[in-house]
Amino acid sequence: MRADTLALATQTCEARTANALRDAAQAGPRGGFVRLREEAALAQARAVDRQLAQGVRAGRLQGAPLAHKDMFFRNGELSECGSRILADHRSMQTATVLQRFDAAGAIDLGALHMAEFAMSPTGFNAHLGHGRNAWSDAHVSGGSSSGSGIAVARGLVAGALGSDTGGSVRIPAAANGVTGIKPTQHAISVRGVMPLSPSLDCVGVLARTAQDAAALLQVIWAADPHDPHCLATGTRDFESAIEQPLTHDVSIAVPAFDDDAPVSDEVRAALMRVADALACCGATIRRVAVPDLREAGALATLVLGAEAASVHAKWLRERRGDYGAQVLRRLERGLLYPATRYVDALRLRAILMSGFVERYLSGAQALLLPTLPYAVPTIEETLDGDADEIERRFGNFSYWTRGINYLGLPSISVPAGKSGNGMPVGVQLIGRPWSEDGLLRVAHQLQRSTDWHLRSIISQPLGTA
- Catalytic positions are 69, 144, 168
DSSP H/E element including 238: helix 238-241
Could you give the CA distance from residue 97 to residue 117 in angstroms, rounded to a whole number? Answer: 19
Residues shown for the chain: 465
Beta bridge partners of 181: 205, 412
Tell me which residue of 426, 406, 430 sits closest to 418, measured CA to CA. 426
Strands 366-370 and 424-430: antiparallel
Distance of CA 460 to the CA centre of its chain: 18
Tell me which residue of 457, 443, 440 sits closest to 216, measured CA to CA. 440
Could you give the CA distance from residue 14 to residue 10 in angstroms, rounded to a whole number? Answer: 12
Tell me which residue of 366, 373, 364 sits closest to 294, measured CA to CA. 373
Cα end-to-end distance, the chain, whole Å: 10
Burial class (CB in 10 A: 0-12, 13-18, 19+), 26: exposed
Tell me which residue of 262, 290, 263, 261 sits closest to 419, measured CA to CA. 263
On whether the CB atoms of residues 355 and 291 are closer than 8 A, the answer is no
Rg (alpha carbons) of the chain, rounded to whole number: 21
Residue 181 Rama label (left phi>0; alpha psi -120 to 50; beta): beta
Helix segments in 13-73, DSSP class H: 13-27, 38-53
HEC string for 199-230: CCCCEEEEECCHHHHHHHHHHHCCCCCCCCCC
On whether the CB atoms of residues 165 and 405 are closer than 8 A, the answer is yes
